Structure 1
């Protein structure tokens, strides 16, 4: 039984879109390409919609040959022999380069100048919604090459559509645009591309305001706070978080969605306080977030913030490590069951437990946690400065007795440069 549209794997959907784009660029119809592959038009249609996965290397190579493109253009991460290549810090740093260039200019200048979208018919709101959902799924999964591939196609289309002829869907289109920019900001933060994350978050704020959804404005501010922290602009991060917290706190009634945003902003402010070595203030923000999570009583994913009791404790671990309280971090972290959360959240917990063990000079336990984190979210270990610092410290402490596993991890993360 083929998966429904809601069950389509985001990676299969992204692959199908790359096949469709390459087919159109070389001027071939579905019927023509399907016939050359010995398949039916229906089969190829399912591939391009992501409903029919393509896993066999020989078939991948056949499709690529027919389209005149390398296999890796259709499926990034595939080596010449068909094996998935383990990512390195250098390869990860290039994942979002094309999207970064896209943010460097106006996303729909031709439409602004012409006053209309002359690039062809726009897709339905439902299809654009699916793509934005996929963009977030790929971001949470750490599939940043696929994030870039989808974003480079999707963002200009959204920008053109909302300017050209939005009709009765203007608010919905601006909301989709804000969500797409929020996803990009989160992805750039994870790759330590803080300046690009700031630009994306700023565009998300503006689009959310035009959509008329104030909670999405606040969620976009959360993304901006994360960017400011990575830029080490703690004063700006504090101001942005505190302003949003104050505005939300003045609301007469609180919904679960508004509580999710408010709690997430308190966690962001706790991070700011911890980075400023303000211990009492950081713990106060964690306590406020805990109270909000208890009021919610469940783990939620409003605005892709993954806020709830478990996420608060994950952030409490991170805050404790930043403050040098390794024992407290381990006491909290070892009681957390994060199995239901995204790879990013699970990877973050494992990374911080590795950092805590490293602070306590538990070399073996630290390495095991960091390797487990790499298996879950490789880009986090290989781009996060704190993780790389912990790996570097483990190598220095071990000296000539450093294990092969540790040295190989350090090489993958470029932690010794």
Structure 2
């Protein structure tokens, strides 16, 4: 997931190379790292930045935008008519969700619902998210009341045990909210959700709640760019250190969130380009998944045996290994993933693999499958938007038309 908002740091017209250098240094990324992500030499990056080489073609501009996690392509090109890459348009339900998150009800004229009632509502909300193609709309409708009721339950708890139980549910409500807020144009709101979820989880003293909150907080750090990778690792590894001694007697949910955190550490390693660590963490996560019952599927992270093939595709794609990415695609079945948004996300990762491997037509066909599984997943996914935007400029008429039609479906172009 990508959470960092990109403001316009350019008050005056600036050349492409200068913009690229400013965005790179703001991310804390060296020329060597950027060059590695682009498959170029550090000298090439330097010559682009100092203007000795002309502005690259669209496919390379998009690759640079992805590597630098630039949300608005205009920040890199300086051109009008901005194209949002790593953030989608604000959802119609975002204002109501934001109001509920920002409110801190210290007084209330009604009684909080019972803990068991809240727990059942949250379970139904997660199930609805996994089953609905328009999952953002569905959970966006449920979240305001869930958040307010969970906050009330914390404030009105009579005993310390009741308060801890309510805090665990409040943390879970914030976790659901983070899935809704991610990739939307309100980075400060997302960080507020992630941090409040972690605080509530710690107050609950519930290992599973702490693990889930850490899983989401680590993603927020990692998706803010290379300068935040160390923070992502710190969250991941600290909580893994806390959970590991509990594993011999742990529930399936605690085993699963531990496995999910292990994979997330591998995901960050892949973003760094650390092949050995990335696959090492994936192997550790796979061993954890093997300890779970057949058919188990974690309600928040989607972790389980069925997801490990999809995770392998992600590792290979983040390592920019086109051939290996496609090999992993052939081993990973999408249909075994029960969650519609997670299945759509896997299709997008498959499309990235095919695109890396120079198979743009297969990539577009796979993105169409992603749209069929869950339109609201692809609509807010920057990687999908990048592929569609690039192929909409293709010299092959049929491919250009196919990409343009998909761009209209996901809201990138006006119908």
TM-score by length of 1: 0.70
Aligned to 2:173: 180
Aligned partners of 1:317, 1:401: CA distance in 2, in Å? 28
Residues 322-333 of structure 1 correspond to what in structure 2 (within 5 A)? 322-333=318-329
Shift of 1:222: 0.4
Aligned partners of 1:199, 1:262: CA distance in 2, in Å? 24
The 3 A distance-change label for structure 1 pair 97 and 322 is farther
Residues 304-343 of structure 1 correspond to what in structure 2 (within 5 A)? 304-340=300-336, 341-343=338-340
Matched, 1:123 2:113: yes
Aligned to 2:56: none
Matched, 1:225 2:218: yes
Matched, 1:208 2:201: yes
Equivalent of 2:364, from 363, 367, 380? 367
Aligned to 1:353: 350
Shift of 1:246: 2.1
The 3 A distance-change label for structure 1 pair 124 and 258 is closer
Equivalent of 1:274, from 255, 270, 273? 270
- 1:250-289 CA-to-partner distances (Å, cap 9, x unmatched) read 4472523332111100111111112222222211111111
Aligned to 1:156: 148
Shift of 1:91: 5.7
Aligned partners of 2:249, 2:157: CA distance in 1, in Å? 35
Whether contact under 8 Å (2:153, 2:163) holds in the other structure is no
Shift of 1:407: 0.5
For the pair shown, the structure with the greater C-alpha radius of gyration is 1
Structure 1 SS opposite 2:296 = coil
Aligned to 2:96: 98
Give the length in aligned residue pairs. 321
- 1:216-264 CA-to-partner distances (Å, cap 9, x unmatched) read 1122100111222222222211111111122223447252333211110
The 3 A distance-change label for structure 1 pair 338 and 193 is farther
Aligned to 2:235: 240
Indicate the structure with greater helix content: 1
Aligned to 1:294: 290
Whether contact under 8 Å (1:191, 1:384) holds in the other structure is no
Matched, 1:383 2:410: no
Residues 129-168 of structure 1 correspond to what in structure 2 (within 5 A)? 129-140=119-130, 141=132, 142-166=134-158
TM-score by length of 2: 0.70
Structure 1 SS opposite 2:392 = helix
Whether contact under 8 Å (2:316, 2:328) holds in the other structure is no
Shift of 1:391: 1.6
- 1:282-331 CA-to-partner distances (Å, cap 9, x unmatched) read 11111111122223353423452221222122111011111112222222
Whether contact under 8 Å (2:90, 2:185) holds in the other structure is no
Whether contact under 8 Å (1:221, 1:240) holds in the other structure is yes
The 3 A distance-change label for structure 1 pair 311 and 413 is same
Aligned to 1:21: none
Shift of 1:415: 5.1
Structure 1: runs of 5 or more not aligned: 1-88, 112-116
Structure 2 SS opposite 1:370 = helix
Shift of 1:125: 3.2
